[in-house]
Amino acid sequence: MATQEQPNILLVMADQLAPQFTGAYGHRIVKTPNLDRLAERGVRFDAAYSPCPICAPARACMMTGQYTSTNGVYDNGAPLASDNLTFAHALTLAGYDTVLSGKMHFVGPDQLHGFRARFVRNIYPADFRWTASREGPPVRQPLAFGERPGNFRHAWQYLASGVHVGSYNGMLAYDEETQFRAIEYLRVQGHRQREAIANGREYQPFLLCASFHHPHPPFHAPEEFWNLYKDADIDLPEYPENLEETYSTLDRWANIMYSADEIDIRKPEDLRVVRRAYYALTSYIDHKLGQLLDTLRQYGLDRNTVVVFTSDHGEMLGEKGMIQKCNFYEHSARVPLVVSFPDGRGAGRVVREPVNLVDIAPTLCDIGAVDPEIQQGEFDGTTLLPLIDGQSQPDRVTFSEMHTNCVYSTCFMVRQGSYKYTHVTGHDRQLFDLSTDPGEWNNLADTDHGRAVADRMRTLLEERFDIEAIERDAAASVKRRKKVQQALVANRYVWDVSPQFPVGRDCFWQYLP
């Protein structure tokens, strides 16, 4: 049994939520009152980044505290090895009950990775079928007669954004089930911990991860939240006349991957609908956060629970004429990150130093008093507690990577101070000074002013990563997985998660600890 100095931990995760589109980070339209109040009584990180701006790799990096080139989860079809220590493993060893409700997109036969239980089935394949080809660069193929342009799951689904009308929506139903399981778990834990405290007994602290699908596309918003923006003056991005000339090779690859080059995502009448639906779904997730916070308070758990809110990556949402993610611009690579302590530790503090999802694992381990020997040598990230307590770290540096999934070379981002450097091996590089160019329009990499800074940032990159070795490993990983997937299909074998209890809600209680 753990010591009672260890707080409970509630980790709430959204999917594809860019912080720029939340009230807590200053958006004038988007309504996020619950995230706002969490930030007011917690610590808000204003330069938190995804280690890999796509779903499965970002989450694997967060769980392991390792960059994607360390843990080998290069894309949405790559497995996380079972011998990788996660914060769920570490907190289990420290005495926590570790459970997951909702999405985590583990690929491979291990569908727990340290969690004692998962309360909801996954919604994405656990095998290698989403392994992306790395043979490129891509070439646009001519359309067959009657074929709809683009990938309907990507650019064209943005044009189908709007209000959800009808009795069933699979993605909304998934988030509702995720929320139901999470709240029921908190209710049971609240009763148990209250009873233990009343009788002078110790109780087992918990780590609950509640991970939601939205505001990931498709953007089909519940009517209640769609109506929040009925009369809103939806903001639209502005584009320079030479927009295409500002793109890096990585940007062009992403636009082909998501078919953004086949439709005019910049049309104001369409983009207003897309953004309204996204804003509505952001408010929907904020409402879910509020329900969880209210449940903590209702059962007295707010007095001993640390709350962390974040996302796996962002969403371009028309910025720079782009959609989705898979690039290193702020709207794609940055994530919201708010940490709130029950005793008000660091309340209201804003951290501007660059941090990363890989820093969450060592931070949770420190919060949970995990034995330092268990953590030693396991994490690429570093604990955020000094920053939470007000320590300045002006030289702090963080990285992001993309090596497969619509890219065809090793791609990196380096952020230090106000500078952001992006590197597409064998192609081009960019350097932005975010203090004077928050829109990332002025590439300084080969200017008299920026060349020395870009070279210094590249040195930081090369000191941390073996670029040639990563290129070889990423390419080999894709080839292996494509072969294994063929065998899995032939054998009709899948790794999809089966929760440790029947799906019916009336069976839930007996499977709690």
- Rounded Cα–Cα distance for residues 107 and 440 (Å): 34
SS3 sequence of 92-114 = HHCCCEEEEEECCCCCCCCCCCC
Count of other CB atoms within 10 angstroms of residue 112:
19
Which residues, at least 6 apart from 305, have a Cβ–Cβ distance to it below 8 Å?
7, 8, 9, 10, 296, 342
From the candidates 52, 89, 105, 213, give the one annotated as an active-site residue: 105
H helices, E strands: number in the chain: 15, 16
CB under 8 Å, gap of 24 or more: what pairs does 124-128 form?
A: 124/55, 124/56, 124/76, 125/77, 125/494, 125/496, 126/494, 126/495, 126/496, 126/497, 127/77, 127/485, 127/488, 127/494, 127/495, 128/77, 128/78, 128/79, 128/481, 128/482, 128/484, 128/485, 128/488
Exposure string of 153-182, with b = 16+ CB inside 10 Å and e = fewer, is ebbbbbbebbbbeeeebebbebbebbbebb
Largest CA-CA distance found in the chain, in angstroms, rounded: 74
CA distance linking residue 354 with residue 414, whole number of Å: 10
| Residue 356 near residue 399, CB atoms below 8 Å | yes
β-bridge partners, 339: 43, 308
Among 52, 55, 365, 406, the active-site one is 55
Q: Has 55 been annotated as catalytic?
A: yes
| SS3 call for 58 | helix
268-298 vs 170-198: helix axis angle to the nearest 10?
20
Pairing of β 419-424 and β 411-416: antiparallel
Q: Are 188 and 297 in contact (CB under 8 A)?
A: no
Q: Which residues are catalytic?
A: 55, 105
